[in-house]
Amino acid sequence: MFLLEKPTRALIALSDRKRTWYAHLLAKEVDCSYAHLTKVLEQFEADGLVDFKREGRVKLVTLTDKGEELAHDLENVLRRLSK
């Protein structure tokens, strides 16, 4: 498969704007370690897909417009692959 499961699931999960996403919550959601997820999020930030906002001791993670578009596209790809 050409898509990495955990990063793809993380990006798609972040597109759920009804939830407030912190790295530790996102790690639980996509069933991966916090350490792995922070490396994924650092790469997402370098690629312009996510932004971080500090709230006390934790960082809120949100998608940028570019990240939102990519998450939407990935959802469509995954939907097409499952048919």
The residues, ordered by sequence, that sit 6+ positions from 30 with a Cβ below 8 Å of its Cβ are 6, 9, 10, 13, 37
Q: Which of 36, 2, 30 is nearest to 16 (CA)?
A: 30
Q: Whole-prediction pTM value?
A: 0.89
Domains of the chain: 5-81 (1.10.10.10)
Q: How confident is the model at residue 2 (pLDDT cuts 50, 70, 90)?
A: low
CB neighbours of residue 45 within 10 Å:
15
Instruction: Look at residue 58 in the predicted model and tell me its pLDDT.
Output: 85
| pLDDT above 90 coverage of the chain, percent | 84
pLDDT tens digits, one per residue of 24-54: 999 999 999 999 999 999 999 999 999 999 9
Q: What is the mean pLDDT of residues 47-67?
A: 94
